[in-house]
Amino acid sequence: MNRRMVTLLATLAPVLVLGVLGTTVKVPFVALGPGPTFNTLGDIDGRPVVEIEGTALDPTSGNLNMTTVAVRDKLTLFDALGLWVSGRQGLVPREEVYPPQKSKDEVQEENSAQFAKSENSAEIAALRFLNLPVAVEIGTVGEGGPAAGVLREGDRVLRVGDTPVESVEELQEAVGAAGAGSTVDITFVRDGVETTAPVTLGSRPHADGADANRGYLGVGASTVPEVPFTIDFNLADIGGPSAGLMFSLAVVDKLSPGELNGGDFVAGTGTIDPDGDVGPIGGIPYKMIAAKEAGATTFLVPAKNCDEAVANRPDGLDLVKVESLGGAVDALADINEGRPAPSC
């Protein structure tokens, strides 16, 4: 081998090594990017995304799209560089998405549980917005707790003393305000029969300070619909709580006169709680890209995400600031009637 060949190989060796490493060595990052969007007024696999049966529905058209973030894992060095240069993806430390103390399956299970909880919250928020009845249903009763022997699984609580309760939060507040050691009348329905029974409240285990004086019932409960129809959400393999707002809007749109979106293409994101309050989410730059590429012209943004949304807004996408389900409905009405809507 002549000297020129030796020199050439010595020059190329680092490049060849880098090339091999770049295509095989994994980096401790994941890529976040635009994920699929789903029209909550449309169908998927032959079924409505938001399926309501047992009552008349108002006609809908256009789009109310929920948006998602795609996560790419097990990136090589070259994968990561290519995705970062594209401008459509962002790189974050893998531990932010998959904490090292949890397996990937555990993270996915948590995301699925959050999604299921968001479905329930979306349903309850929509029904309460429409002034349709909901109830507080007992799920578990702590053995030896204050409510043991009085309440059972499946009981629906109506009142604590003279205070009506229509959500778990209202139940907790009424019980807490009554105070530890006090005896209160709990009115509930069991097997269609309304009953009132006294319960002496305890104090929350391990509570301290002012919380130690708050009343404790010792039950697990959930807020459930009390309507003669069913609402189902037919999206699978989606995780996290950020579809809540768009699910609620779809329920409201299908159960009330008129079209919330004016027949246009609206997309958005945001968590929602049973009271209809909208909370912030992650990955909004990528969700806005996905919405714009799907055809949206209006994007509903949780108020606390506004700064990030403005800094990353795609051209041609109007950003509407929302803090609650009622605020989102009002903002869409403003747009439909030509009035300025709250914006980021």
Rounded CA gap, 20 and 16, in Å?
6
The whole-angstrom distance between residue 290's C-alpha and the CA centroid of its chain comes to 18
Beta-sheet pairing, 318-322 with 298-302:
parallel
Angle, nearest 10°, between helix axes 244-255 and 325-336? 60
At 23, list the tokens: 């295509």
Q: Which amino acid is at 75?
A: L
Strand partners, 160: 163, 186
Strand partners, 321: 301
DSSP SS3 for 216: strand
Phi and psi angles of residue 190, each rounded to the nearest 5 degrees, phi first: -130, 125
Strand partners, 271: 279
Largest CA distance in the chain: 100
Integer angstrom CA distances of residue 272 from 180, 226, 249, 266: 31, 20, 11, 18
**Residue 338 gets which letter from DSSP?**
T
Active site residues per annotation: 242, 287
DSSP SS3 for 289: helix
